[in-house]
Amino acid sequence: MGSSEFTISKATFWALVAASLCLTILVGLLCGLLPNKNVECTSDSAPQNPGTNEPTSPTPAVPTTEPQIWENIRLPTNLKPHHYDLYFRVDISGEEFRGKSTVLVECLEPIDTILIHSKDLEIDMASIELTGQGGGSAPGISGNPMLYEENQYLVIPLDGMLKAGTTYLLTIEFSAELNAEPLTGLYRSSYTTEDGGSRTIASTFFAPTDARKAFPCFDEPAYKANFTLTVENEPGYFALANMPLDGENETLSDEWVRSKFMMSVPMSTYLLCFVVCDFVKVEKETKGGVQFRVWARPEASHSLTSALDWGADIIDYFEDYFQIDFPLPKMDMIAIPDFAAGAMENWGLITYRESALLYTDGVSSPSNKQRVCTVVSHELAHQWFGNLVTLQWWDDVWLNEGFASFVEYLGVEHVEPTWGMNDQFVVRDLQPVMNTDALQTSRPIIVDVETPDDINQQFDPISYNKGASILRMLQNFLGQSTFRKGVNSYLKRFAYGNAVNTDLWNELTKAAVEDGQDVDVAQVMDTWTLQMGFPAVNVTRTYGGGNVDFTATQERFLSNPDSEEQSTYPDPGFGYRWYVPMTYTTKSDANFDGNNTEWLDPGPDTYIRWVFGGSDADWLIVNIRQFGYYRVNYDDDNWLLISQQLEANNKVFPESSRAAFLSDAFNLARGGELSMVTAFELTSYLTKERDYVPWVAVDSNLGYVDLMLSRSKAYGNFQSYMLNQVTPFFDFIGWEGQSNAHLESLSHSLAVNLACQYGNEDCINNATLEFAAWMADSSTNMINPTLRSTVYCTAVSAGGQDEWNFAYEQYQATLDASESSTLLTSLGCSSQVWVLNTFLEISLDPTKVRTQDAVNAVGYVARNPVGYSLAWDFFRANWDVYRATYGDSIFQFSSLVDSVTAHFNTEFELQMLEDFMADHPDQGTASRAFVQAVDSTKANIRWVDSYLEEVATWLDDSVSTTT
Catalytic residues, which ones?
Answer: 379
- Please choose, from the candidates 143, 152, 89, 75, the residue with its C-alpha nearest in 3D space to the C-alpha of residue 120: 152
Residue 406 φ/ψ, nearest 5 degrees: -80, -50
Radius of gyration of the chain (CA): 30
Distance CA 885, CA 883 (A): 6
Query: Are the beta carbons of 227 and 267 closer than 8 angstroms?
Result: yes
- Please choose, from the candidates 749, 837, 847, the residue with its C-alpha nearest in 3D space to the C-alpha of residue 793: 749
Question: Any residues with CB less than 8 A from the CB of 209 and at least 6 apart, and which?
Answer: 117, 152, 219, 270, 452, 455, 456
Distance CA 556, CA 128 (A): 56
Query: Are the beta carbons of 915 and 644 closer than 8 angstroms?
Result: no
What's the CA angle centered on 559, arms 557 and 563, to 5 degrees? Answer: 100
DSSP one-letter code for 188: E
What's the CA angle centered on 324, arms 323 and 327, to 5 degrees? Answer: 165
Query: Are the beta carbons of 901 and 521 closer than 8 angstroms?
Result: no
Question: Any residues with CB less than 8 A from the CB of 587 and at least 6 apart, and which?
Answer: 614, 617, 618, 619, 641, 645
Task: Provide the 3-class DSSP secondary structure of residue 17.
Answer: helix
> What number of other Cβ atoms are within 10 A of residue 87's Cβ?
18
DSSP one-letter code for 828: T
Extended beta strands in 217-354, E state: 226-233, 238-241, 250-251, 257-260, 274-277, 280-285, 291-296, 330-336, 343-344, 349-353
Distance CA 234, CA 89 (A): 9
Distance CA 331, CA 292 (A): 5
How would you write 526-555 as a 3-class SS string?
A: HHHHCCCCCEEEEEEEECCCCCEEEEEEEE
Query: Are the beta carbons of 224 and 496 closer than 8 angstroms?
Result: yes
How would you write 142-179 as a 3-class SS string?
A: CCCCEEEHHHCEEEEEEEEEECCCCEEEEEEEEEEECC
Exposure string (b/e) for 683-699, b if CB count within 10 Å is 16 or more?
bebbebbebbbbbbbbb
Query: Are the beta carbons of 162 and 57 closer than 8 angstroms?
Result: no
What's the CA angle centered on 397, arms 529 and 241, to 5 degrees? Answer: 160
> What number of other Cβ atoms are within 10 A of residue 533's Cβ?
20
Altogether, the residues listed in the chain come to a count of: 963
- The DSSP bridge partners found for residue 538 are 553, 633
Distance CA 494, CA 388 (A): 8
Distance CA 830, CA 153 (A): 48
Distance CA 444, CA 187 (A): 34
Relative orientation angle of helices 788-798 and 761-776, to the nearest 10 degrees: 90
Query: Are the beta carbons of 174 and 99 closer than 8 angstroms?
Result: yes
Query: Are the beta carbons of 606 and 551 closer than 8 angstroms?
Result: yes
